[in-house]
Structure 1
């Protein structure tokens, strides 16, 4: 083959998708790829860099260029929040995603750190507070069954809504039976509607470390606002997801 690095990247990408280079395998050395495809090593290097930026491969020291495992977690749409799961059962959102993806889980796959914090601009706007007002912060890191981080989720609450409840308990796992939504319901603050907004960006150095991200992988950022039937905000949450570890699936009726 002759051509530029984008053409070579396309050829290698197709080979990966076909399973010629399965997940966990190592691509041939760069000089071997250059000889095989009739290009120079610089072209190979640029093609591999492009595939790495796409999240298909990752360079591993002393091993080479490894094809990444890409079994995306299926993240359900509204079904992950169904009241049948948490109000009448004990399945919180991250567990619903695991079950929908056919993946094993245990409650302690979710860590938990709780603290009193000062509302930043986004949190303050969500609750209608002044910047710096005290809020309760509940931060979670979720790992898959193999121990690999998949995402973080940090929820904010008005302190008076959650004082003395399991939402201030740092024990790993969901906040008791049914998780946080069930706790809010027992407080007379039953969640009724959720607004979720997603956007993508490149991760911060801290996020790269926490989520163990390879070079070039972006993150998907979630903002979630949960309100009661009368429109009272009871939770504002921010999630940061490793982009290649999730597939978002939405099913809804088309509005008239």
Structure 2
């Protein structure tokens, strides 16, 4: 079972070139992307889609959306396979003065689409876990919206956070 990409770095496990594929380009914001990023529906945004594998086994897809003015000319829009450098996209945003401060994630299960079954090489009857993530700066500026589809039997989330007073 594999966990979030940052866990791979924290554990000292190195990324290999084939562990993550990237497809990067501009697309138009649908209603959900527009609402989360605070842009008009139909606005141009960057889309960074990844297929992440553990060895030869696909574990999940993750597609992040960014406002062009936040990421133009950065490693986040470089299609080279693998993470966007050490620390990934959040390190890139921090270098741009857009340090991520808070994340809201929604995770739910559903049955996969035929395309997801093929892409993730899922056995018959296996559900997927869908992740939706909104990342904002300390000032509340939305800097990323991500959607992921995870093979339920090949992926785990582990959260650790302080209990508020």
Contact 2:25 2:46 in 1 (8 A): yes
The correspondence of residues 10-159 of structure 1 with structure 2, limited to 5 A, is 72-73=1-2, 75=3, 93-97=4-8, 105-108=14-17, 109-145=19-55, 147-159=56-68
Give the whole-Å Cα distance in 2 for the aligned partners of 1:183 and 1:252. Answer: 24
Instruction: Go from structure 1 to structure 2 and tell me whether the alpha carbon gap of 1:212 and 1:236 turns closer, same or farther (over 3 Å shift).
Output: same
Q: What is the number of equivalent residue pairs in this alignment?
A: 164
Structure 2: distance between partners of 1:214 and 1:98:
29
Query: Could you list the runs of 5+ residues in structure 1 that have no partner in the other structure?
Result: 1-71, 76-92
Whether contact under 8 Å (1:105, 1:144) holds in the other structure is: no
Q: CA deviation at 1:97?
A: 4.5
Q: Higher helix proportion, which one?
A: 1
Normalising to structure 2: TM-score of the pair? 0.91
2:139 alignment partner in structure 1:
230
Find the aligned partners of 2:10 and 2:123 in 1 and give their Cα distance.
Answer: 26
The CA distance in 1 between the partners of 2:16 and 2:67, in whole Å, is 25
Match runs of 1:144-183 below 5 Å: 144-145=54-55, 147-183=56-92
CA RMSD of aligned residues (A): 1.8
3-state SS in 2 of match to 1:112 = strand
Alpha carbons 1:220, 1:240 under 8 Å: kept: yes
